[in-house]
Amino acid sequence: MLTKKQLDLLELIHKRMQKDGVPPSFDEMKEALDLRSKSGIHRLITALEERGFIRRLAHRARAIEIVKLPDSIAAKYSAAPQTGGFTPRVIDGDRPSSRPSAAAPVSQWGATDVPLMGKIAAGVPIEAISQIETHVAVPGTMLGGKGHHYALEVKGDSMIDAGINDGDIVVIRETSTADDGDIVVALVKGQEATLKTLRRQGGRRIALEAANPAYPAQIYPDDQVEVQGKLVGLIRTY
């Protein structure tokens, strides 16, 4: 059970992230909740985190992730239904005990080795990915389109309703264009990468939508979102 102030703050954070893609500052929270000091906001944030409604991300300013919403708030801000969407072609495999070095790739059993570039957030954006960690073998049938492909390990659960789970490896075809409803790797503000469904919202705005009603859409001016690839496949390890 949350107090009224805790509910008010959670709804404020949710509304601001749904509108602008970032939470309000502590000063904005203090003013909106009519509190005298930011220490009251710190206590409310800590209480929400302890109850599992939000998560604070280390080493980033104003980095708050909404993990879940109470029914009273979720009913008011239900996520737009996902249409079109991606039906993942899932390849099951055994998770190796340790990752091989990022040496030159070696093809195995007719598969193509693609670089595994690191982790991608299926939640809030994380720092942009730029280094090859190793390579993964991907069946040639999964690489249907022409062009360069790469793989990323999924971190988070915001795309679970699209069949993409935390720890999955997603296979991405590098491209700078995408249609509405495509699941893409989007670089936000030139700094952070996220895996989301792309939808254009009239004018010059882009919504990056989760496939989990607990996560609001992240909406940005179109010049702050750069498509870096389109989802073409999924590898799940156990």
Q: Which residues are known catalytic residues?
A: 158, 196
Distance separating alpha carbons of residues 198 and 192, to the nearest angstrom: 16
Instruction: Evaluate whether 177 touches 227 at the Cβ level (below 8 Å).
Output: yes
Instruction: Evaluate whether 51 touches 68 at the Cβ level (below 8 Å).
Output: no
The enclosing H or E element of 159 equals: none
The closest of 158, 156, 155, 154 to 214, measured between CA atoms, is: 158
The closest of 214, 228, 213, 179 to 199, measured between CA atoms, is: 179
SS3 193: strand
Encoded tokens for 13: 């954070």
User: How many Cβ atoms sit within 10 Å of the Cβ of residue 211?
Assistant: 22
**Bridge-based pairing state of the strands 205-209 and 192-200:** antiparallel
Phi-psi region of 42 (alpha: psi -120 to 50; beta: other; left: phi over 0): alpha
